[in-house]
Structure 1
Amino acid sequence: MSEPSDESTPAPESTSPFDDLRAFVALPRVAGLALSLDGSRLAVSVQTLDAEGTKWQSALWEVDPAGQQPARRLTRSAPGESAPVWAPDGSLLFTSARPDPGARGGSGPGDGAEDPKPALWSLPAGGGEARPVLTHPGGVGGVAVAADTGDVVVVASAMPGVADAEADAARRKQRKEAGVSAILHEAYPVRYWDHDLGPAAPHLFWAGRLPAEPAAGAEPEPVALRDLTPDARPPKGAGESVALSPDGRVLARIETVPDGPAGERDRLVVVETASGTARVLVDDPLADVHSPRFSPDGSALVCVRETLPTFEEPPDFTLLHVDVAGGAAHDLTAGFDRWPSAPQFSADGTAVYFLADDDGRHALFRVPVDGGAPVRLTTDGAYSDLQVARDGSALYALRSAYDEPPAPVRLDPEATGQHPEPLPNPGTLGGLPGTLHEVEATAADGSRVQSWLVLPEGASAQSPVPLLLWIHGGPLMSWNSWSWRWCPWLMAARGYAVLLPNPALSQGFGQDFVRRGWGEWGEAPYTDLMAAVDAAEQRPEVDASRTAAMGGSFGGYMANWVATQTDRFRAIVTHASLWHVDSFIGTTDAAYYWEKEWGDPLQQPKRYEQNSPHRFADAIRTPVLVIHGDRDYRVPIGEALRLWYDLQKRGVPSKFLYFPDENHWVLTPGNAQVWYETVLAFLAEHVLGDEWQRPELL
């Protein structure tokens, strides 16, 4: 334990936000990108702390696509603004629960209501005040705009059996006044991530052309909404699975249909917006179909086909090019051993751009529509929010890496080997408290295991530092991009080296690499992790005698598994973790998905018996910090309660950090700060040998 400092000597001022958790949570965070249809304007969403410092609020900023002008803020309100999309007339549409300043008595969407709902707002092209243009009793959750005509479709939550918005509002009022919160379910599932499903469900409403701004003193023209999905079962993430043709005549949407007694899958449906007539375009009993996008002329769609996993095989992904009129489809990425996502047509419709994990990066690719192999356009980094300029002159995206937070960039539509500089934006950081390195290890079966290693400032052979193994979630993902929630630089600022491995089951290394761990989470994924740690400990900058392991979700499962298989680590931190695999699969929000991999526990118990950490609880010798949120429906709280009890009754040194109102990730600023304070204190006690310091607010 260090000696107290001399009171006459002032403490050095923090030189980095990573030294101070309060400063870290206050950093602006760029997320979301929208390109105007003429290519002259970019809008981004930026999250910052509110005045009280208790929650993040989002505002819209404009970024210069040419990179010449500084970013400027476009919106300000306490509820914040999100989901920006440009209309053909240059106005910027967005959703917000902000009050309507023009409403009588100062009330409006989100003002004076107990549960304010977001409305659709429009910011004029020439500047000025934003105005609300569309409301719904269930709130507006997303918007799609026809690029040529400006026709609008919105996503809004509607009560079952109601005919219009007025009836929807009346039904909600009746339930509230009667004190009814009950939900009657007639199909599985009943929950999703952190919220209950029902009784309202997302619907798609046709709004057509939005009315022009009324003259001064005139009442705004109401928008009549027409339900395009009155009898459909929209997917839980309906806003992410909608596309509108450039002429507004056809809506592409994803529809969820039953798959077995308690399962579901998604198919692609197109709707004639004028009549509401729907027809199924792609319906594959062996796959989910999602992420549809129209070609520039509206004659074709590109979408992702994701094969349904089985007991023997993990999922696989490919891109389908589909003729809208006849439904003929062909595979654009046959033989491509990566998982494509987020497809977008090129400006002339002759190619498709997409993103895919590839060797610890999330890269941008281009594939010709008429045949040919995908070509990777970017080198390092992870890309998202891809936007294609309609004149074909450029691409825009958010780019991040483990040493760079998300920032908007401009890319060439065809060049390879690109590593663009960020456009001026409000989310730029200064220096980091260390350096990022790419490292490799060889697994027990000879496979290559790629990892990222963060080394803190001052780490050397003369001053080796403790090592923290941080295991990613998923499991079908990889460490490849910046994370505000799981940020290794906070650990580096306190002197830890952080190892971020991509073991078996990680995507971006080929189908066989995923297959190595399928249904055997305690085998190759575990031995890959240990091989990565062995290699890291050989570095002279690392002190192999002071190590810890941690992870969340699947990473939490692996942290639990590590605790039952070895005592090489001084501490284990397990967040939102699986402990009893049978119990987890029966209570998670999507049991049918996981049972495809693990099998029915009554009919195929072997995988459960071999891979469930709880069966090896007697072997745990390492101190464990358990963390869980009660609103986590993906990994329900029962997993943590069972793990905590099993640790306590065996006398394992352990602590339980419980969040009654947080979900899978812990998202509010105060709780995120306490999360890190507790983790760092636990690691300091067991890895550094410091005295336990209970966080002040706990």
Structure 2
Amino acid sequence: MTAFDDLDDYLALPRVTAIALSPDGNRVVIAQSTPDEEGTGYVGALWEVDPHGQEPARRLTWGAKGESGPVFTATGDLLFTAARPDGTDSDGAPAALWRLPAAGGEAQRVVSRKGGVRAVHAARAADRIVVTADVLGRTDGDDQRIRDARKKHKISAVLHTGYPIRHWDHDLGPAEPHLLALADGPDAPLSDLTPGPGGALREATLDLAPDGTFVVTTWSVPGPLASRRTTLVRIDTDTGLRTVLVDDETADVFAPAISPDGTRVAFLHETHSDPETAPRITLRLFDLRSGDTTLLVPGWDRWPTSVVWRPDSGALLVTADEHGRAPIFQVALWADVPTPLTTDPAAYTDLHVAPDGTCVYALRAAYDAPPHPVRIPLDGSGAVTALRAPAELPDLPGRLTELTTAADDGTPLRAWLALPATADPDAPAPLLLWIHGGPLGSWNTWSWRWNPWLLVARGYAVLLPDPALSSGYGQDFVQRGWGRWAKEPYTDLMALTDAAIELPVIDADRTAAMGGSFGGYMANWVAGHTDRFRAIVTHASLWALDQFGPTTDSAWYWAREMTPEMAVENSPHLYVADIVTPMLVIHGDKDYRVPIGEGLRLWYELLSESGAPAAEDGSTVHRFLYFPDENHWVLGPQHTKIWYEVVEAFLSEHVLARPRALPEVLG
């Protein structure tokens, strides 16, 4: 038995979410979440792990509501955010900023605001701290007065003057993110570095200079057709003076990283797409002295996802998707292509380079291992040392293999295939095609939300394919499917499915397909174009593309990508009459990326117009699992449990011909 054989055991698995390294390189701290007492949410705690991988982890915090966002100060104190009620805070207190002294002792509250603290940024070589926080009014001085008035008079109204007005799962405004600089002492006054920013700092990525004198941050500005794009600005932490560094009307710039010597800024540059041309992400360098911008590794046909500096300011470490993995690469500033630092089948995030330049600490994950802390030497050996986290990595109920084939046009294709331990030519496993979202993404790392091993534990082989539009295979691979969602992405999926069912361990007669977001769109398209699958699960899916475009939370992006003609050509709803496969539709009402209207229309048209409509008595083979308070994902632990239970029951009924009881709590 493994933790994947029981959903309660799976939900109880600890989850590592962040890693921090002290400026002297002697301390590594991770954040790890576990279920709360009721099992309805997760509570984080901070643990210190041995940077040499020898000693067991030591727990540092014990707050009832948890701690998150560990960051070290230049003097070695540990900062974190936590909601900790005390004599002045109510039980519903927002997250405050706390400091755990390097010398030991109890944690001390540093900043407490009615609007809370979102994130903390500390200089590596100076006593300077900047926080990101939501502010009502023009400056932080207005915040408490306006909050008190809105609470007293029960006001929730928001007056918008621009777009967007909501994002993923929440309404935007009236509070907006600001950058606030700290003075010394607990609950010391805050200096608002960005008065009246509007929405310029929404979803901002930023870096604080090692000496603490300035911040480089993304700054969102309006564009044509109610669009937004991001620029890079420099903000002085003493005066708040803001200077534009990079402003490209044809691109978004983000993920700035200031060099240790404070003279340059590495950043990522994403060109704006149009209906004919996919975006491209490249690594660039801005010289703070000359004002020049340089394209780095121009011969590299991959999309970087994060960047950090080596201590000597002479080279960078970069992560990027690569053939179902996300390795770390070393980038010499004037090289044409990067050098791989890791070669194992894993994905790396949260890179922190040791101050002596000998190694990098990171979180490593793969489809056979959840995120866990590791140390990687920078000598090019490719060695990876796992640090001793508080919990061991879970055993899996099967094995992970890789599948390759060729597309109709000869393009090489690949996928992960997770097989149950029982899969054998004499007992072949039913196949579940699981289509990833994005679509600009890849099945390249562990997912707590979309976890194939829960279905593997039920006896299914789970195929995780990367069709056209997937990242990690070069610009041409993305371009193959650009504006052609219903063409190469679909035929690639079918080609990989064909390759899978040719394996003797797969039962070609018992297959199903599922996906979420873009994967749900593809599931809908599959349903209208083949009857090869016994069941289809579609989560948070696009259905009528002409309806979806203006209602998603980033309508300008959609308008930039797809013409009305393309929307009609690629819209699944036009093929509803051809759907004969039983479908399980899943949608959350708080989904603003793919609004609930998509799920509602899909459900009605399945019952009224599909090739398997509802009977006269209202009975139907289709099902609709609706979450009134979930969003694009399903985040509540007990809702996650229901999601998998309903999916398993639906697949069991139609793929295995074994009806299963549904969760009693559904009524």
Shorter-chain TM range is over 0.9
Q: Secondary structure at the match of 2:655?
A: helix
| Stretch of structure 1 that moved more, 680-689 or 172-181 | 172-181
Residues 629 and 658, structure 1, Cα contact 8 Å, conserved in 2: yes
The aligned counterpart of 1:180 is 155
Amino acid at match of 2:65: P
Measure the CA separation in 1 of the matches of 2:358 and 2:340: 18
Measure the CA separation in 1 of the matches of 2:199 and 2:56: 41
Pair 490,419 (structure 1): closer, same or farther in 2 beyond 3 Å: farther
Measure the CA separation in 2 of the matches of 1:79 and 1:169: 23
Q: Secondary structure at the match of 1:688?
A: coil
Stretches of structure 1 lacking an aligned partner (at least 5 in a row): 1-14, 101-105, 212-220, 600-604
The aligned counterpart of 1:69 is 55
Q: Percent identity?
A: 52
The aligned counterpart of 2:584 is 625
- Following superposition, the deviation at residue 231 of structure 1 comes to 3.1
Residues 43 and 61, structure 1, Cα contact 8 Å, conserved in 2: yes
1:100-499 aligned within 5 A: 100=86, 106-108=87-89, 111-112=90-91, 115-161=92-138, 163-165=139-141, 167-208=142-183, 210-211=184-185, 221-235=186-200, 237-238=202-203, 240-379=204-343, 380-416=345-381, 418-499=382-463
- Following superposition, the deviation at residue 99 of structure 1 comes to 2.0
Measure the CA separation in 2 of the matches of 1:28 and 1:544: 36
Residues 30 and 427, structure 1, Cα contact 8 Å, conserved in 2: no
Measure the CA separation in 2 of the matches of 1:200 and 1:234: 9
Amino acid at match of 2:586: I
Residues 233 and 255, structure 1, Cα contact 8 Å, conserved in 2: no
Is the counterpart of residue 695 in structure 1 residue 663 in structure 2?
Answer: yes
Pair 534,184 (structure 1): closer, same or farther in 2 beyond 3 Å: same
Q: Give the alignment's Cα RMSD to 1 decimal.
A: 1.3
- Following superposition, the deviation at residue 237 of structure 1 comes to 4.3
Counterpart pick for 1:58 among 16, 40, 44? 44
Residues 159 and 168, structure 1, Cα contact 8 Å, conserved in 2: yes
- Following superposition, the deviation at residue 691 of structure 1 comes to 1.8
Amino acid at match of 2:148: K
Measure the CA separation in 2 of the matches of 1:234 and 1:248: 24
- Following superposition, the deviation at residue 233 of structure 1 comes to 4.0
| Stretch of structure 1 that moved more, 651-660 or 18-27 | 651-660
The aligned counterpart of 1:4 is none
Residues 466 and 542, structure 1, Cα contact 8 Å, conserved in 2: yes
Amino acid at match of 1:575: H
Measure the CA separation in 1 of the matches of 2:202 and 2:5: 37
The aligned counterpart of 1:216 is none
The aligned counterpart of 1:5 is none
Counterpart pick for 1:677 among 645, 648, 656? 645
The aligned counterpart of 1:24 is 10
Pair 377,245 (structure 1): closer, same or farther in 2 beyond 3 Å: same
Measure the CA separation in 2 of the matches of 1:419 and 1:518: 38
Counterpart pick for 1:571 among 535, 540, 548? 535
Measure the CA separation in 2 of the matches of 1:420 and 1:696: 46
Residues 358 and 379, structure 2, Cα contact 8 Å, conserved in 1: no
Measure the CA separation in 2 of the matches of 1:561 and 1:132: 53
The aligned counterpart of 2:554 is 590
Measure the CA separation in 2 of the matches of 1:375 and 1:288: 26
Residues 350 and 370, structure 1, Cα contact 8 Å, conserved in 2: no
Q: Can you list the C-alpha shifts for 1:591-638, whole angstroms capped at 9, x where unaligned?
A: 111111103xxxxx2211110000100000000000011111111111
Amino acid at match of 1:196: D
Measure the CA separation in 1 of the matches of 2:393 and 2:241: 50
Residues 216 and 256, structure 2, Cα contact 8 Å, conserved in 1: yes
- Following superposition, the deviation at residue 394 of structure 1 comes to 1.0
Q: Can you list the C-alpha shifts for 1:407-436, whole angstroms capped at 9, x where unaligned?
A: 1110112405x2514211024224211000
Stretches of structure 2 lacking an aligned partner (at least 5 in a row): 615-620
Amino acid at match of 2:281: F
The aligned counterpart of 2:510 is 546
Q: Secondary structure at the match of 1:361?
A: coil
Q: Secondary structure at the match of 1:140?
A: coil
Residues 53 and 385, structure 2, Cα contact 8 Å, conserved in 1: no
Amino acid at match of 1:683: L
Residues 192 and 236, structure 1, Cα contact 8 Å, conserved in 2: no
Is the counterpart of residue 616 in structure 1 residue 542 in structure 2?
Answer: no
Residues 377 and 383, structure 2, Cα contact 8 Å, conserved in 1: no
Amino acid at match of 2:277: E
- Following superposition, the deviation at residue 234 of structure 1 comes to 4.7
Q: Secondary structure at the match of 1:697?
A: helix
- Following superposition, the deviation at residue 235 of structure 1 comes to 4.4
The aligned counterpart of 1:217 is none
Q: Secondary structure at the match of 1:306?
A: strand
Q: Secondary structure at the match of 2:561?
A: helix
Measure the CA separation in 2 of the matches of 1:153 and 1:30: 25
| Stretch of structure 1 that moved more, 443-452 or 270-279 | 270-279
Q: Secondary structure at the match of 1:362?
A: coil
Residues 307 and 319, structure 2, Cα contact 8 Å, conserved in 1: yes
Amino acid at match of 2:49: V
- Following superposition, the deviation at residue 127 of structure 1 comes to 2.6
Q: Can you list the C-alpha shifts for 1:501-550, whole angstroms capped at 9, x where unaligned?
A: 00000000000000011111010000000000000000000000000000
- Following superposition, the deviation at residue 695 of structure 1 comes to 1.6
| Stretch of structure 1 that moved more, 648-657 or 282-291 | 648-657
| Stretch of structure 1 that moved more, 315-324 or 395-404 | 315-324
- Following superposition, the deviation at residue 344 of structure 1 comes to 0.6
Measure the CA separation in 2 of the matches of 1:690 and 1:48: 34
Measure the CA separation in 1 of the matches of 2:239 and 2:41: 43
- Following superposition, the deviation at residue 128 of structure 1 comes to 2.2
Measure the CA separation in 1 of the matches of 2:274 and 2:53: 48
Measure the CA separation in 2 of the matches of 1:234 and 1:241: 13
Residues 369 and 394, structure 2, Cα contact 8 Å, conserved in 1: no
Q: Secondary structure at the match of 1:47?
A: strand
| Stretch of structure 1 that moved more, 490-499 or 324-333 | 324-333
Q: Secondary structure at the match of 1:261?
A: helix
Measure the CA separation in 2 of the matches of 1:667 and 1:74: 26
The aligned counterpart of 2:618 is none
Q: Secondary structure at the match of 2:664?
A: coil
The aligned counterpart of 1:645 is 604
- Following superposition, the deviation at residue 370 of structure 1 comes to 3.3
Measure the CA separation in 2 of the matches of 1:547 and 1:193: 32
| Stretch of structure 1 that moved more, 130-139 or 349-358 | 130-139
Measure the CA separation in 1 of the matches of 2:364 and 2:535: 34
Residues 418 and 453, structure 2, Cα contact 8 Å, conserved in 1: yes
The aligned counterpart of 1:666 is 634
